[in-house]
Amino acid sequence: MNEREYKFTFVEPVPGMCIGKSVVLKSGVYEFSSGEGIIIRGENITIDGNGAIFCGPGSLDKGTKSFKGTGIIIERSKNIVLKNFVVKGFQKGLHVIESDNIIIENNDFSDNFTDPEYGWGDGEPYGAILMEYCNGCTIKNNKGNNVWNGLNLRYCYENEVIENTFSHCSNVCLLLWGSSRNVVRNNNLSWGLRIKPGEVHARDSACLLVEHGSNDNRFYNNDFTHGGDGIFIRSLDGVISTGNYFEGNNCSYANNNAIECWSPGNTFVKNIANNSSYGFWMGGSDHTLIQENEIAYNGTNFHNAPEKDFGNAGVAVVHGSSNHFKLIGNNIHDNNGPGVAIGFKKGYPAYHWIIQHNVIQNNTSHGIYLRDSKWMNIGGNIIKGNGGEEIYYGQNVSDIFVRTVAPGEQAPCARVKVSAHVIPLGAEVVFDALGSTDPEGRELTYRWELGDGTIAETAVVRHRYERPGFYKVGLTVSNGKLADIVGLEIYVYKHGQY
């Protein structure tokens, strides 16, 4: 929002007041013993709290039932600036509903509803800030500590969350539900933790929880430390969250997993995932890229939920599908267990991987632990000083291609065009990898698996499927030293059934 000239009115707030024009509050402490705060409706206005302190009826000393109502409600509004408030003692500090281009800055919504003794489950959407159906908003330089949820975005799109502190939350510091294309950067979102001594899973509390179709969000340089999980991409309701990008975040000191993901198509680059029970726990995570992260000392200070076959691990990709997966350039060291543990189950293996240019060293067990795994391309890694084998081959492992590569070698870049992803039975589909390149111009080789048992080794493949169904297709492009992969899906239907 551009700077504007405002004619301000100085007001003294009272419970239930509705504000529809630019105002500056008279500074002071205001008691809202019923839990009824103020309501804002309007457009192109600024509401300056001027340091006013709104005190709701609740505090943790009085018990969770003492928290009532909402301190500030913004509803069906546009181009609002809300700043310089202190709001505490309510169920919700701020609730923004069906509003666009709202700027929320320099407010303190700490000490609203919290319940460290709550059992399993997410409870009510209480805490510092709840936003529903809001677009194009900026949430900057706010506080929301000692609450249930710090910031809860539900069906919110294209918002910016910048340089806030939502910490010491008894459920989740930042929660995204059905919220996409948001940018979250340089926030303190630490200590999303609810646990009692002797517990293992911290009751699914987390610093960041992403779920129910929260897609294409960007997370940069946030503090996600000391959570139940640091980052948790969850799909308990069966709706995945995909296309999310994480870079430069610190997710360490999680009770369980620094990063846990149960959705496909997400990217993790240059994050820190240390000193947790697991660095990465990935299941149901097809089309995933984990690149240039530090993953260290996991399973040492915290060692909850060890797997019976291998204990804890730096990276564990087990108990869920992991097709077309890339693990590139990571520093995986000093974990209490294998550096990397991979496998799903017999008949449905971890499938079509690149494991390249990683340093995997000084882990107490194997460098790479494989079981129920197929079509792995492993090359250019430094695997040394581990307590077990460099690569451990367990049950149901096949098509493992291991290459010794000199330092500095570069991988090719695989590119695929496909004539159609949904085709009628009997129609020809064309797979074309001629757009693949090598940085040094070396000759490329191709290996396709087309999902029906067919393997091809040419750049262009023409194919007809003999049965209707869903087929996962993989391509590996190699320059003889390193490789790149592309995975895609084809659906073949009978005429009249699509």
Is residue 365 predicted with pLDDT exceeding 50?
A: yes
Rounded CA-CA distance 404/380 in Å is 6
Residue with tokens 């959570």: 227
Contact between 259 and 271 (Cβ < 8 Å): yes
Contact between 431 and 460 (Cβ < 8 Å): yes
Q: Which two tokens stand for residue 335?
A: 């974990």
pLDDT digits (tens, 9 = 90+) for 188-203: 999 999 998 888 889 9
Q: Which two tokens stand for residue 42?
A: 């309007």
In the prediction, which pLDDT does 2 show? Answer: 39
DSSP-based three-state secondary structure for 45: strand
pLDDT digits (tens, 9 = 90+) for 279-318: 999 988 999 999 999 999 999 999 999 999 999 999 999 9
Closest CA to 138 of 149, 151, 122: 151
pLDDT band at 266 (very low <50, low <70, confident <90, very high): very high
Is residue 6 predicted with pLDDT exceeding 60?
A: no
Rounded CA-CA distance 67/35 in Å is 8
What value does the mean pLDDT of the chain take?
Answer: 95
Is residue 356 predicted with pLDDT exceeding 50?
A: yes
Average pLDDT over residues 26-39: 97
Is residue 498 predicted with pLDDT exceeding 70?
A: no
In the prediction, which pLDDT does 200 show? Answer: 84
pLDDT digits (tens, 9 = 90+) for 309-351: 999 999 999 999 999 999 999 999 999 999 999 998 888 899 9
Please report the DSSP string for 425-481 in residue order. Answer: TT-EEEEE-TT-B-TT----EEEEE-SSS-EE-SSEEEEE-SS-EEEEEEEEEE-SS
Burial class (CB in 10 A: 0-12, 13-18, 19+), 444: buried
Rounded CA-CA distance 247/357 in Å is 19
Is residue 4 predicted with pLDDT exceeding 60?
A: no
pLDDT band at 5 (very low <50, low <70, confident <90, very high): very low
CATH code at 417-493:
2.60.40.10
Rounded CA-CA distance 381/393 in Å is 17
Average pLDDT over residues 136-165: 98
pLDDT band at 496 (very low <50, low <70, confident <90, very high): low
Structure letter (DSSP) for residue 371: S
For the chain, percent of residues with pLDDT exceeding 90: 92
Cβ neighbours of 441 (radius 10 Å): 8
pLDDT band at 235 (very low <50, low <70, confident <90, very high): very high
Q: Which two tokens stand for residue 447?
A: 């290996």
Domain locations in the chain as residue ranges: 9-297, 417-493
pLDDT digits (tens, 9 = 90+) for 408-445: 899 999 999 999 999 999 999 999 999 999 999 999 99
Strand partners, 237: none
Cβ neighbours of 272 (radius 10 Å): 21
Query: Cα-atom radius of gyration of the chain, to the nearest Å?
Result: 26
Counting Cα atoms < 13 Å in the Cβ hemisphere of 442 gives: 18
DSSP-based three-state secondary structure for 1: coil
pLDDT band at 92 (very low <50, low <70, confident <90, very high): very high
pLDDT band at 87 (very low <50, low <70, confident <90, very high): very high
In the prediction, which pLDDT does 3 show? Answer: 39
Please report the DSSP string for 65-118 in residue order. Answer: GG--SEEEEEES-EEEEEES-EEESSSEEEEEES-BS-EEES-B--SSS--TT-
Of how many residues is the chain composed?
498
Closest CA to 457 of 438, 441, 444, 466: 444
What are the two backbone dihedrals, phi and then psi, of residue 74, each rounded to the nearest 5 degrees?
A: -115, 125
Q: Angle at Cα 114 formed by Cα 109 and Cα 115, nearest 5°?
A: 175
In the prediction, which pLDDT does 497 show? Answer: 61
Closest CA to 367 of 395, 386, 393: 386
pLDDT digits (tens, 9 = 90+) for 391-404: 999 999 999 999 88
Average pLDDT over residues 6-12: 71
The contacts of residue 65 (CB under 8 Å, 6+ apart) are none
Rounded CA-CA distance 183/245 in Å is 10
Q: Which two tokens stand for residue 195?
A: 């646990």
CATH code at 9-297:
2.160.20.10
Q: Which two tokens stand for residue 379?
A: 């090359």
Is residue 495 predicted with pLDDT exceeding 90?
A: no
